[in-house]
């Protein structure tokens, strides 16, 4: 894959804004992975994190749904628009695959399978963001 597309039509200001959003996507992906690992450790191994009567704030479905919505919005704004501008398809494919894995995880029951799918999804999505940054970076 080329590191900089000569046909990239991002202005320097647009490229910087999109790069910041890509970096935000990478940070959110990392936070999500940490949340999954910490949640499994605290709830599964240590028995912590419960609010009583089986309700765990760490595994609340709302957290995962909001995270998925954030990943879709940030991914569409950065990777989707980036692919249109620089023409590289790999970041878009990886972004879509990562979001799909996250969506499958959210749709299923909570537990280890959900965490594994989510962690895989956020890692693939983060790689899509990294490749998207590189696809239109004049510095590489």
Reported as a single tens digit per residue, the pLDDT across 27-75 is 989 888 888 888 777 766 666 555 445 555 656 778 888 889 999 999 9
Crossing angle between the packed helical segments 112-135 and 12-39, to the nearest 10 degrees: 160
Looking at residue 97, what is its pLDDT?
Answer: 97
Rg (CA), the chain: 17
With 0-12 CB in 10 A as exposed, 13-18 as middle and 19+ as buried, what is 42? middle
Question: What residues does 31 pair with on adjacent strands?
Answer: none
pTM assigned to the model: 0.78
**What burial class does residue 97 get, using C-beta atoms within 10 Å of its C-beta: 0-12 exposed, 13-18 middle, 19+ buried?**
middle
Mean pLDDT of the chain, nearest integer: 81
Residue 29: what are its φ and ψ, rounded to 5°? -60, -45
Share of the chain above pLDDT 90, in %: 35
């Amino acid at each position: 894959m080329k590191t900089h597309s000569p046909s990239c039509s991002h202005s320097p200001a647009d490229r910087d804004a999109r790069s910041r959003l890509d970096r935000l996507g990478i940070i959110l992906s990392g936070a999500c992975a940490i949340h999954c690992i910490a949640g499994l450790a605290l709830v599964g191994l240590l028995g912590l994190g419960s609010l009583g009567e089986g309700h765990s704030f760490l595994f609340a479905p709302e957290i995962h749904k909001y995270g998925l919505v954030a990943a879709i919005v940030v991914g569409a704004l950065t990777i989707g628009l980036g692919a249109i501008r620089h023409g590289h398809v790999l970041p878009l494919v990886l972004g879509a695959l990562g979001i799909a894995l996250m969506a499958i995880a959210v749709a299923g029951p909570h537990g280890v399978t959900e965490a594994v799918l989510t962690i895989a999804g956020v890692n693939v999505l983060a790689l899509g963001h990294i490749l998207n940054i590189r696809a239109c970076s004049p510095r590489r």
